[in-house]
């Protein structure tokens, strides 16, 4: 196994074990800047459900949010993600959320298949570990945490909710154009490799309508709150 894959997976396993037994993580707002100047850049993100509160205690509460896992095992805000240009980025996303989405795209009723594709990664693929039964048709009986399901596009539709088996996406846009799209799945760890060679400030957004479902079809609350399901990516 490639050392980079092993390192990323060990990190993921440690995080899964730590959160699973109730380790108390602190929430901070700064992104770590003390990183090696050469070699792969490792970024681990965690999606946690039922985070209180977005707006107030009676409206738009208990919703999912992305966080950055810092070097000291604290969870930091994902409002502003700083990434290096011209370096391999090893991105791990640990998704603790659950449930498929009936729709995917930039409205509460759309099914925009571009967000079902893996875009902007090395080889145009992502690697799924610790897969759940929703991906059963994409794995064999020997699949384990260390044997990934390789995905380039989520091409199934028609689950129990009548939609895609996608929990969230991590999508980076440049003036509305998708340059990176990584679908994630509840209860799984996603690993992807990518390069961002153009410096600048970009937008990241989840394109699964995962805000409070009773308001604007899920496109409210967490979906429009910076640091929860949207934010900026600064490449320098």
- The tens digit of pLDDT for each residue in 28-43 reads 344 444 455 678 999 9
Tally of CB atoms within 10 A around 216: 15
pLDDT of residue 161: 54
Helix (H), strand (E) at residue 204: strand 200-205
Segment 10-26 shows an average pLDDT of 38
* Residue 180 confidence (pLDDT) above 50: yes
Domains belonging to the chain, first-starting first, are 3-235 (2.60.40.420)
Rounded Cα gap, residues 122 and 192, in angstroms = 8
Give the model's pLDDT for residue 214: 60
CA nearest neighbour of 67 among 78, 82, 54, 55: 78
- pLDDT mean across residues, the chain: 78
15 Cβ neighbours under 8 A, 6+ residues apart: 44, 46, 69, 73, 94
Q: What is the pLDDT of residue 48?
A: 94
For the segment 120-166, what is each residue's pLDDT rounded down to a tens digit? 999 999 998 876 544 444 444 444 445 688 889 876 554 555 567 78
């Amino acid at each position: 196994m490639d050392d980079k894959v092993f390192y990323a997976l060990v990190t993921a396993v440690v995080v899964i074990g730590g959160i699973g037994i109730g380790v108390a993580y602190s929430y901070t707002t700064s992104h770590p800047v003390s990183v090696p100047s050469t070699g792969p850049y490792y970024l681990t993100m965690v999606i946690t459900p039922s985070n209180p509160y977005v707006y107030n205690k009676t409206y738009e509460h208990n919703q999912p949010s992305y966080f950055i896992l810092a070097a000291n095992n604290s969870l930091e805000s994902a409002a502003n993600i700083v990434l290096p240009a011209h370096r391999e980025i090893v991105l791990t996303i640990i998704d603790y959320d659950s449930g498929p989405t009936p729709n995917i795209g930039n409205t509460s009723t759309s099914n925009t298949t571009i967000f079902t594709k893996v875009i902007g990664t090395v080889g145009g693929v992502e690697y799924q570990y610790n897969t759940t039964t929703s991906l059963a048709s994409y794995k064999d009986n020997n699949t384990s945490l260390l044997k990934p399901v390789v995905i380039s596009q989520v091409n199934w539709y028609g689950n129990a909710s009548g939609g895609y088996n996608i929990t969230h996406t991590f999508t980076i846009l440049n003036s509305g154009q998708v340059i990176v799209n990584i679908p994630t799945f509840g209860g799984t760890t996603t690993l992807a490799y990518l390069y961002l060679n153009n410096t600048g400030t970009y937008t990241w957004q989840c394109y699964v309508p995962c805000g409070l479902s009773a308001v604007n079809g899920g496109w409210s609350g967490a979906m429009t709150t910076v640091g929860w399901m949207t934010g900026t990516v600064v490449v320098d």
